[in-house]
Structure 1
Amino acid sequence: MLIASFLLAPLFSYAEVSKPNIIFIMSDDQGYGDVSAFNPNSKINTPAIDRLAKEGMMFTDAHSASAVCTPTRYGVLTGRYPWRTRLQKGVLGARTSKLPDGSISVGDEPLIDGKTLTVAQFLKGQGYDTAITGKWHLGFKYILPKDTAIDKSRGKYYDAVPVGTKIVGGPIERGFDKYWGFHHARQMGTWIEQDEVTYNLENTDEMLNRITVKAVDYVSDPARKAAPFFLYVPFSAPHSPVVPSKNWIGKSGINKYADFVMETNNSVERILHALDKAKLSDNTIVIFTTDNGTSPSARIEQLIAAGHHPTADLRGTKADIWEGGHRVPYIVRWPGHVKAGSTYDKPVVHNSLFATSADILNVDLPNNAAVDSFSILPALKGSEEETHPIAIHASVLGHFAVRVGDWKLATCKGSCGWSKGGDKNTPMQLYNMKTDRAETTNLFNEKPDIVAQLKQQLEQAVYNGYTVDGKTGSNDVPVTIYKKSKVKSKKISH
């Protein structure tokens, strides 16, 4: 009832300027060094994304809440850390069950439960049209009619759900007016519109273009001038399968992943062009980011051999607790409000989208909404003060890192993810991110007081159920802070 009554509240009257449109673009498995504005030595040019950096603000110490896909998306849309949910490691999969009427349910329960307010629901309540085109990967169920099945004969990434199949628990039920896209990389043969499968792709290299076309069409629709809009564009690329379309193969001169990054940049260019053509750029906030670091499926050794380092000077890759796993490019362009060519170098987290949107509209959120979302509006206005008193990250295995100021404590040994190596001589790792962002010198033994302080702050943040002062919250399940470590396992009740 709380969400329903909140959505029915009177629309906020923004007297000084009209409510800005918001476009949130997030590429998939594109590393910090895969955007040339963030990596001066990049061998992959990304001119459209670089244009956003020149016309807006670069956040050079921005992070996803997780080093993998599903949990990052949860944090973006809810402003809540994903490890407060049942998903304690990895990503969502799929389960199959037979229903009483003979139909088949395939999928997983939505990770965003019906009680958790999303940024889309909030903005919809403020008069926004809300749309998503792209990858969801937050759980829903296909309800297949009796005697039908998913076609799995076409290969690992080509699962084709029968056209006409309905979905339950998807984006339309989580605050979006419009949905075009697919669920996750193992079902890229399936295209969904609203709550129904409408098309089976012949080739997965169609997907990025289909997502982009829908984004361009949405922005170009004259209806966009009738009301403010929130458009969420989670690309399929350059995640595996690494399938640049025919016209982009070979463009980079490096490998198919680099080609795919270039094609992803082109998708950004097409959306920006549509905004310009529709004369909507001046009143539209455009945010570009990525969901986590570069995946090994990019053939990182080939990239490095060509002189391109996909994580720039950061250590680790997708899935890791090291910076290469979760430090991501983040750019905000808002003409007339954000200084062009500016930079903010303090830590921020994807979760900030929700609180920032509310702050821009000058609307107070319920105390139990966006409990881990700090507004970055002060930074956008030019403040150099920290917006995030604490930031928490998680690896694919669910190991934590806590960041306070310049200090980062990882609660495990090594990468805590997929990469090999690292200091195995201490139960945890402590790094000074101001002087050692490449995480080469573990100060765990030298700085016991800082270790103790960071542990206490992490434990309190988990125990409280929120990190933003004034909020109320609880964890959905008991959360284990110290996993597979010499430190005694610690459970936090919900």
Structure 2
Amino acid sequence: MNKRTLMTLAALAAATVALGGAKSASSLPNIIYILCDDLGYGDVGICNPDGKIPTPNMDRLGREGMVFTDAHSGSAVCTPTRYGVLTGRYAWRTRMKSGVLSGYSNHLIEEGRMTVASLLKENGYHTAYIGKWHLGWDWVKTGDAEPGKGLGRITPVDYTQPIQNGPKENGFIYSFGHCASLDIPPYVYVENGMPTAVPDRETFADKKEVKNGWWRKGPTAPDFDHWDVLPNFTRRAVKYVEQQARTDKPFFLYLPYSSPHTPVLPTSEYKGKSGIDSAYADFTYMNDDCIGQVMKAVEKAGIADNTIIIVTSDNGCSPEADFEELKMQGHNPSAIYRGHKADIFEGGHRVPFIVRWPAKVKAGTVCTDTTCLTDMLATCAEIVGAKLPADAGEDSVSMLPNLLGTATGSLREATVHHSVNGTFAIRQGKWKLIDAPHSGGWSTPRPGKDKELYKDLPLVQLYDMESDPGETINVQDQHPEVVDRLKALLEKYKNDGRSICAD
């Protein structure tokens, strides 16, 4: 048994003692997982003191809990990250090798695969999803998609029929939300598997006219108002917390907001309230206030002490936020990190990650250990005292020892990163190896489009993230043994079908 295994077993044993051994329903914590959409690491004040957007609620959550400074989404774009959050498995192991799903795509989560929701449901939790799904579900389609390419292609659907292979089939007792990003049609709410209304019109917002508040043309239901989506999800989340607090059953609320992703739509009461001239800043401030409303509901219900609230993001900030406009006012959504959403660079996948659990997590603490959003499944299993089967959580490590302060070393052997075009990187300790000479995404040098800029560069990039967190100096030629080791480990993870050893 190696040293790392001994360290992990010791930490898990201490965690079990700290949680009081066998778990009863009354002692299990409530869990609220708030997944923001395209919120940059640098957009949250407690993560980036130099940021200019006020985020008082996320900042308070961090002061009263733990801030992770080296947390990463499973991908630099949303669909694959969401798959990883719920399944504990990297999405590149599925058909999702690059890009994201459309609003009409069939389900991505395989039938019968364990999710965070199904695990918790099996262990006595009431489970709910409210928000943006973007993992595919099966509409009753009545025709083929329109000609053309892209996420705006429209497919005829019978909106009077229930969907299949959506939240309900993946462990959620209650569900309410829409199929994809708020700029991707169709614009229809689905509650407990049924569309809430049949579209009666097509809507769109032209990118040339409304800048970062645009959305693609598509079928829109009469009860769907783009401007009200964030407030609607928040109202429903608050109501759910209030209802569940009156029961003796622990609950899991998965709240994947569709904000501050495009369309950027701050309502009138938030316009100008961020203090800088930016619709994105106002929308981020509004998003923070909505998180504060959920926090307030938890506190008002008297359940804050044993409720875990997690706030994070599915990837880095999108260039649709207008980085240049923000930069002129002293704000960088990626903070000190290179790149942004879609990139293999840190700005694509290093995300804010804040956890408050007053009963167990010491206030005002910081975790510098590398963490991945795929770690949620193993963490929940450890919390409820369940053992994951061999075909679940293949890339998930319990972060519970870090939360409880019992970890004696790094919990992950290594972490794999993935960009929008399918470029891989692997991180171990201070070393990060990018298996390409370009960004893998939308920033310079872009794969293919900027080939002249990188055609003479080394085929791999190696960065020392301790001395060079901005990924400015490629040191692959100075450390060939590190390059070889990390390339071999990445290939092993690919070939083994898992990165976590099965017990």
Mapped partners of 1:399, 1:293: distance in 2:
16
Mapped partners of 1:244, 1:254: distance in 2:
13
Is 1:446 aligned to residue 469 of structure 2? no
Mapped partners of 2:190, 2:164: distance in 1:
12
- Aligned CA RMSD, in angstroms, stands at 2.3
Structure 1 residue 92 displacement after superposition: 1.0
Structure 1 residue 224 displacement after superposition: 4.9
Instruction: Report what 1:65 is aligned to.
Output: 74
TM-score calculated relative to the size of structure 1: 0.86
Range that drifts further, 336-345 or 200-209 = 200-209
Structure 1 residue 459 displacement after superposition: 0.5
Match of 2:46 among 23, 31, 37: 37
Is 1:232 aligned to residue 228 of structure 2? no
Instruction: Report what 2:164 is aligned to.
Output: 168
Instruction: Report what 2:4 is aligned to.
Output: none
The residue correspondences of 1:392-471 to structure 2 (distance < 5 A) are: 392-421=416-445, 424=454, 425-470=457-502
Is 1:333 aligned to residue 356 of structure 2? yes
Query: Which amino acid in structure 2 is aligned with residue 60 of structure 1?
Result: T
Instruction: Report what 1:121 is aligned to.
Output: 118
User: Does structure 2 conserve the Cα–Cα contact (< 8 Å) formed by 1:157 and 1:189?
Assistant: no
User: Does structure 2 conserve the Cα–Cα contact (< 8 Å) formed by 1:159 and 1:187?
Assistant: no
Range that drifts further, 418-427 or 200-209 = 418-427
Seq. identity, %? 44
Instruction: Report what 1:191 is aligned to.
Output: 189
Q: What SS does structure 2 have at the residue aligned with 1:458?
A: helix
Range that drifts further, 220-229 or 317-326 = 220-229
Mapped partners of 2:440, 2:22: distance in 1:
48
Range that drifts further, 59-68 or 111-120 = 111-120
Range that drifts further, 118-127 or 158-167 = 158-167
Q: Deviations over 1:12-71 (max 9, x none)?
A: 951597011111001000100000100111100101011110011110000001000000
Structure 1 outlier segments of 4+, above 4 Å: 146-150, 155-163
Instruction: Report what 2:102 is aligned to.
Output: 93
User: Does structure 1 conserve the Cα–Cα contact (< 8 Å) formed by 2:337 and 2:470?
Assistant: yes
Q: How many residues align?
A: 443
Match of 2:300 among 267, 277, 283: 277
Mapped partners of 1:354, 1:216: distance in 2:
24
User: Does structure 1 conserve the Cα–Cα contact (< 8 Å) formed by 2:178 and 2:188?
Assistant: yes
Mapped partners of 2:166, 2:413: distance in 1:
33
Structure 1 residue 435 displacement after superposition: 1.1
Distance change >3 Å, CA 264–CA 430, structure 1 → 2: same
Q: What SS does structure 2 have at the residue aligned with 1:281?
A: coil
User: Does structure 2 conserve the Cα–Cα contact (< 8 Å) formed by 1:165 and 1:196?
Assistant: yes
Instruction: Report what 2:263 is aligned to.
Output: 241
Mapped partners of 2:258, 2:24: distance in 1:
38
Match of 1:314 among 333, 337, 348: 337
Q: Deviations over 1:226-278 (max 9, x none)?
A: 20111000001000111112221222232111111001001100000000111
Mapped partners of 2:26, 2:459: distance in 1:
53
Q: Deviations over 1:110-137 (max 9, x none)?
A: 1101131111101000010000000000
Range that drifts further, 192-201 or 325-334 = 192-201
Mapped partners of 1:176, 1:71: distance in 2:
19
Q: What SS does structure 2 have at the residue aligned with 1:142?
A: coil
Range that drifts further, 388-397 or 220-229 = 220-229
User: Does structure 2 conserve the Cα–Cα contact (< 8 Å) formed by 1:295 and 1:317?
Assistant: yes
Distance change >3 Å, CA 202–CA 133, structure 1 → 2: closer
Match of 1:84 among 68, 93, 99: 93
Query: Which amino acid in structure 2 is aligned with residue 35 of structure 1?
Result: V
Q: What SS does structure 1 have at the residue aligned with 2:196?
A: strand
User: Does structure 1 conserve the Cα–Cα contact (< 8 Å) formed by 2:343 and 2:442?
Assistant: yes
Instruction: Report what 1:481 is aligned to.
Output: none
Q: What SS does structure 2 have at the residue aligned with 1:332?
A: strand
